[in-house]
């Protein structure tokens, strides 16, 4: 490795380039070997996010005493020269439930956090774990003044640990997975202490213990500053309860809600005039009636938000099922009421007819991202009308009822993207993605190149270690 003075580029410029490559860990690793300046800039990205997330193992290996999977960057990040770069720490996946001393992860986490002096985000959401996994770590977090974002599940919020958890202060973002009664009883008082700093509150997945009274107790502490809110599934709440609660949050800009069918419709809709992003999470929808009811629920939720920029529909289960009824009524509402402001339209697995896709492309002039499920003619219609939204940079299509042998030729995609809208940089068809970028060729002329997008899945989330970077 060359000396620092041999670098012909200013460190600040190198650092900005490395920031653009933050998701390409292999490229970051190779860049770190160029010289000391590149090493320092690349290390900032390589270790800014540290994750320990073991995959599921059907058989317990009693001889395996290493709690850190090889795909994790935890060990390297804990070195003195790298600890200063750590901004986010995540402990998730299938952590061994063995107690110490056979499981040293307890001590390793606690010791590492003491050296992560710039740690701002902590996520503790393991699927399996020993009950005392974070007992010592929570005490250390109390003295970590850089911490502004916390994401936890029952491993930190059960009856034994909730009283200690709620002593954390200075948080700007708080996420609780499957919040139970133990943490919900203490949450109003905790929100009161966080009222000056907290701008995001997310209650995710099973929220069955969240009742109308619980929601009402939040209002005095979050009504002035809250900008983002998520509420998971709770059969204890009606749409009227939720919409009434939301009406007390005038500054809300981002909202995620879980849908379930209800016999009684709310008498009013929330007027969220500041709302910019709405995500609706739903489970299996069987019939045309189910699609109609869900679409009406979404329309009610966003009807009072004239400045809505992002609308996303997300399936809340992992089952492999497909829609048979198009969500054309909801598309009509978007075109009629939100076409001037909408930038992101992500219907995911929700079916949209080709005619309504054409209406979206022709009416939503500010559209930057679109993702829908449609039939095979969607690609033809898309490129015949894609010049209308001049800001469109990303498009994704799931082709419904396609044969297993269905595919799109790379040459056809390249031609489509080169002759399509000038801002389009990413196109996905049935989970295969292509990206376009400009290069300077041998004749010193610029050329738009289209190629399949590289897999950007972080090493710790890959199911195999085939592409494990050498620095892990």
DSSP letters spanning 106-153: HHHHHHHHHH-TT--EEEEEEEE--TTTTHHHHHHHTT-TT--EEEE-
The DSSP call for residue 460 is G
What stretches of 238-321 adopt beta strand conformation (E)? 254-258, 277-282, 310-315
- Tell me the three state secondary structure of residue 35: strand
Phi first, then psi: give them for residue 55, nearest 5 degrees. Answer: -80, 165
> What b-and-e string marks burial along 320-331, b requiring 16 or more CB atoms within 10 Å of the CB?
eeebebbbbebb
Tally of CB atoms within 10 A around 51:
21
Q: Which helix (H) or strand (E) holds 156?
A: helix 154-157
Do the beta carbons of residue 176 and residue 207 sit within 8 Å? no
For residue 228, give the nearest of 171, 168, 277, 170 by alpha carbon.
Answer: 277
Residues 319 and 299: their CA atoms lie apart, in Å, by: 26
DSSP H helical ranges for 276-425: 288-302, 328-337, 354-363, 378-385, 410-419
Q: What is the pLDDT of residue 466?
A: 45
Residues 472 and 79: their CA atoms lie apart, in Å, by: 12
Inter-helix orientation angle 36-46/11-20, to 10°: 40
Q: What is the pLDDT of residue 174?
A: 98
Residues 44 and 98: their CA atoms lie apart, in Å, by: 33
pLDDT in tens, the chain (472 residues): 444 444 456 888 888 888 888 888 888 888 888 888 898 998 999 999 999 999 988 776 666 667 888 889 999 999 999 999 999 999 999 998 888 777 889 999 999 999 999 999 999 999 999 999 999 999 999 999 999 999 999 999 999 999 999 999 999 999 999 999 999 999 999 999 999 999 999 999 999 999 999 999 999 999 999 999 999 999 999 999 999 999 999 999 999 999 999 988 888 888 999 999 999 999 888 789 999 999 999 999 999 999 999 999 999 876 666 677 899 999 999 999 999 999 999 999 999 999 999 999 999 999 999 999 998 888 888 888 766 788 999 999 999 877 777 778 888 888 888 887 788 999 999 889 999 988 888 888 888 889 998 888 888 887 754 444 444 4
- Cα first-last separation, the chain: 19
The DSSP call for residue 183 is H
Residues 3 and 461: their CA atoms lie apart, in Å, by: 35
Residues 122 and 160: their CA atoms lie apart, in Å, by: 20
Adjacent-strand bridge partners of 452: 434
Q: What is the pLDDT of residue 98?
A: 85
Q: What is the pLDDT of residue 64?
A: 66
Q: What is the pLDDT of residue 470?
A: 45
CA dihedral 36, 40, 42, 46 (to 10 degrees): 130
Q: What is the pLDDT of residue 141?
A: 96
The DSSP call for residue 316 is S
Residues 367 and 210: their CA atoms lie apart, in Å, by: 36
260 by Cβ neighbours in 10 Å (0-12 / 13-18 / 19+) ranks as middle
Q: Which helix (H) or strand (E) holds 44?
A: helix 36-46
- Sign of the Cα pseudo-torsion (346, 352, 356, 361, in order): positive
Residues 44 and 86: their CA atoms lie apart, in Å, by: 8
Reading phi first (left if > 0) and then psi (alpha if -120 to 50, else beta), residue 205 is in left
Q: What is the pLDDT of residue 269?
A: 86
Residues 329 and 347: their CA atoms lie apart, in Å, by: 13
For residue 421, give the nearest of 370, 355, 359, 354 by alpha carbon.
Answer: 370
């Amino acid at each position: 490795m060359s000396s620092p003075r041999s670098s012909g580029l200013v460190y600040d410029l190198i650092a900005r380039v490395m920031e653009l490559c933050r998701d390409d860990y292999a490229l970051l690793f190779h860049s770190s070997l160029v010289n000391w300046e590149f090493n320092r800039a690349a290390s900032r990205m390589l270790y800014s996010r540290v994750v320990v997330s073991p995959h599921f193992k059907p058989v317990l290996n009693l001889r395996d005493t290493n709690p850190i999977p090889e795909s994790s960057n935890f060990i390297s990040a804990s070195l003195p020269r790298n600890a200063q770069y750590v901004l986010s720490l995540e402990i998730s996946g299938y952590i061994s439930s063995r107690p110490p001393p056979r499981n040293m992860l307890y001590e390793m986490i606690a010791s590492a956090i003491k050296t992560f002096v710039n740690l701002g985000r902590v996520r503790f959401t393991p699927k399996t774990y020993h009950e005392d996994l974070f007992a010592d770590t929570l005490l250390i977090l109390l003295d970590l003044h850089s911490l502004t974002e916390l994401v936890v599940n029952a491993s930190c919020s059960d009856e034994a640990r909730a009283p200690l958890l709620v002593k954390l202060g200075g948080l700007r973002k708080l996420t609780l997975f499957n919040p139970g009664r133990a943490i919900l009883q203490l949450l109003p008082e905790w929100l009161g202490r966080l009222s000056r700093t907290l701008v995001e509150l997310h209650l995710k997945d099973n929220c069955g213990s969240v009742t109308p009274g619980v929601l009402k107790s939040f209002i005095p502490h979050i009504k002035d500053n809250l900008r983002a809110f998520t509420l998971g599934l709770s059969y204890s709440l009606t749409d009227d309860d939720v919409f009434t609660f939301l009406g007390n949050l005038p500054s809300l800009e981002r909202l995620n809600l879980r849908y379930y069918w209800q016999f009684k419709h709310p008498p009013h809709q929330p007027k969220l005039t500041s709302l910019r992003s709405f995500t609706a999470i739903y489970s299996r929808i069987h019939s045309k009636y189910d699609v109609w009811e869900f679409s009406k629920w979404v329309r009610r939720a966003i009807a009072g938000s004239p400045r809505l920029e992002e609308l996303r529909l997300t399936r809340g289960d992992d089952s492999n099922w497909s829609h048979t009824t198009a969500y054309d009524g909801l598309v009509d509402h978007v075109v009629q009421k939100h076409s001037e402001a909408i930038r992101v339209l992500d219907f995911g697995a929700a079916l949209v007819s080709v005619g309504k896709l054409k209406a979206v492309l022709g009416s939503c002039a500010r559209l930057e991202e679109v993702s829908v499920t449609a039939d095979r003619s969607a690609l033809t219609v898309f490129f015949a009308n894609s010049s209308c939204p001049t800001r469109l940079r990303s498009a994704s299509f799931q082709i419904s009822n396609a044969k297993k042998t269905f595919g799109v030729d790379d040459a056809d995609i390249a031609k489509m993207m080169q002759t399509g809208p000038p801002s389009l940089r990413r196109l996905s068809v049935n989970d295969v993605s292509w990206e376009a970028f400009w290069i300077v060729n041998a004749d010193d002329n610029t050329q738009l190149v289209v190629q399949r997008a590289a897999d950007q899945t972080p090493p710790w989330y890959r199911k195999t270690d085939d592409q494990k970077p050498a620095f892990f």
